[in-house]
Amino acid sequence: MTNILFIEQLLNGIQFGTMLFLMSAGLTLIFGVMGLINLAHGSFYMIGAFCAALVAGLTGSFWLALGASLCGAAIAGVLIEILIIRRLYRRDHLDQVLATFALILLLSEGVRWYFGAFPLYLSIPESLNGTIPIFEEIIYSKYRLFIILMGFLIAIGLYILITKTRLGIRIRAGQNDREMISALGVDISKLYTVVFALGASLAGLSGALIGAIQSVEVGMGEPILILAFVVIVIGGIGSIKGAFIGSILVGVTDTLGRVFLPDLLKIFIEPSYATSIGSSIGSMLIYILMALILIIKPSGLFGKS
């Protein structure tokens, strides 16, 4: 029994981790190439989810909704990059933090204005509803399995994009030496817009995918944004590999900690205390993990010091 529960929660952790990866990949890419801290990344997650809910409401198709989340977030990303973000690349981190924080206020309130304060719902398509046996006694939600597969496919896709394609070469060159590649004739501002839109669309997609499990509401991007920050601090800022490993680590630690820590503590202390202490510490576990990693390696697991 405990084993089944454990594997199920482990899968939940991995599922959460893959979604964190979609967020943190964009975040770390944008930082690596443009040197920009983008607090407003969570807003693209929200925008993606709202676009999906809107299109699903109009057409009834989940797949069109997913497409809409990608396109909607990408379009929002391009617009915001051209109007505001572009002016921040040369500024110091403080300006970037403040401007993107202000952008969160702007976008969250804007969405609240347009859609109202009530959460929207996005339903899972018929074909992904229900559960599926994985092996023997273990059955798992089809939709969550689908999310895990999507996450891994996108991770592989990103890996190929970065290592094998022309755009990937430019992105890596941009991470190493921005001035050099612009001197070599690469249109750097176009590259920046493309990278920003790529990050935004990944965030938008994960927003839509998660939106179908939870609800689609204003401010939904903020908790996951901060977790994505923890992920890229753990993984090393600018490293996609670090983001992937960090995401899975954070996703699994967070999920397992919340579920099993209260039970684990019951062995040592009174059950009534164990539940409250366990759930409190469980919610802090990833931050403790982050602190530990930083004590050992201040620039993260795969970061350049």
Residue numbers at the binding site for another protein (CB under 8 A):
31, 37, 84, 87, 91, 93-95, 97-99, 101-110, 112-113, 222, 226, 229-230, 232-233, 237, 276, 279-280, 282-284, 287-288, 290-291, 294-295, 298-300
Query: What is the smallest separation between the CB atom of 246 and another protein, expressed in angstroms?
Result: 12
C-alpha 83: how far from chain center: 24
Query: What is the smallest separation between the CB atom of 255 and another protein, expressed in angstroms?
Result: 14
Q: What is the separation, in whole angstroms, between the first and last Cα of the chain? A: 45
Q: Which is nearer to another protein, 8 or 222 (CB)?
A: 222
Tokens standing for residue 164: 């094998």
Q: Which is nearer to another protein, 113 or 118 (CB)?
A: 113
Query: What is the smallest separation between the CB atom of 3 and another protein, expressed in angstroms?
Result: 27
Helix (H) or strand (E) holding 34: helix 2-34
Compute the distance between CA of residue 289 and CA of residue 75 in angstroms, rounded to an integer.
Answer: 36
Q: Which is nearer to another protein, 116 or 157 (CB)?
A: 116
Query: What is the smallest separation between the CB atom of 173 and another protein, expressed in angstroms?
Result: 21
Q: Which is nearer to another protein, 1 or 295 (CB)?
A: 295
Query: What is the smallest separation between the CB atom of 49 and another protein, expressed in angstroms?
Result: 19
The residues, ordered by sequence, that sit 6+ positions from 213 with a Cβ below 8 Å of its Cβ are: 124, 143, 144
Q: Which is nearer to another protein, 66 or 293 (CB)?
A: 293
DSSP structure class, residue 120: B
Compute the distance between CA of residue 43 and CA of residue 251 in angstroms, rounded to an integer.
Answer: 21
Q: Which is nearer to another protein, 72 or 303 (CB)?
A: 303
Query: What is the smallest separation between the CB atom of 104 and another protein, expressed in angstroms?
Result: 7
CB crowding 112-151: b at 16 or more within 10 Å, else e: eeebeeeebebebbeebeeeeeeeeeeebbbbbbbbbebb
Compute the distance between CA of residue 219 and CA of residue 159 in angstroms, rounded to an integer.
Answer: 30
